[in-house]
Structure 1
Amino acid sequence: GLPEWRRAIALQNRAAEVGFDWPGPGPVLEKLDEEVRELNAEFDTDPPITERVEDELGDLLFVAANLARHLHIDPARALRRANAKFERRFRYMEAHAHEADCELVELDLAQQENLWQQAKDEEHDAD
């Protein structure tokens, strides 16, 4: 079968052919916000019900694929780029921790986030 991202877009294209579609990316972004709120609401239950959390996360991903479709962006390519960016930044963090004679695991979250921000800043300076 199709990879799930491609299947989501194919389903949305099929719906769009009969007019069941958002007019542009703006309303899709609003729907994405709604899905985030619904996912958050599932975490407010005590305890969170895994199946409902999974359903809401699936809805969020489905809407994200629809946003990519409206923006003419390949979601698999966008995710590959995001993975590569995360990996570059995380390796930066590891390298800088090692230069300071420590391991990332020894740093608290605030220190780790500081390194993450440094990695981001260096990337932006290089642009």
Structure 2
Amino acid sequence: MLANKPYLRQVDVQKILDAANAHAEKHNWAVTIAVCDDGGHLLGLIRRDGCAPVSSYIAQDKARSAAMGKRESKVYEDIINNGRTAFATVPHIKGMLEGGVNIDVDGHTIGAVGVSGVKSADDAGIARAGIASILP
């Protein structure tokens, strides 16, 4: 028998984007918000007015790193900052900065949200605000 697992539907992605965007708008933050599935594939993106174009790439990389690693991207930043600099060469993971938050449902990472454009802790807060819109 095959196992079943939860997954992100397009309606979930839109709820995440809307909630994260509302949180950013409340603070007048120019950010990019990216949502990806558990394999790191982009499902949705918003680049708010005034946000630097490079943030579109950074947000996606943060989301991808959090999804594929099944943990927040800040974990990787901390590993590197604590002296394990060789970790920066890990293949397929580029967004090793705070701001990528994995979406965990019943012990399964079903995707992630990555945000770029303001302070890293605020990026992560925007991502969490989006995720909170679909989790109880």
TM exceeding 0.5: no
More helix by share: 1
**Larger radius of gyration between Structure 1 and Structure 2:** 1
What's the TM-score once normalised by structure 2's chain length? 0.23
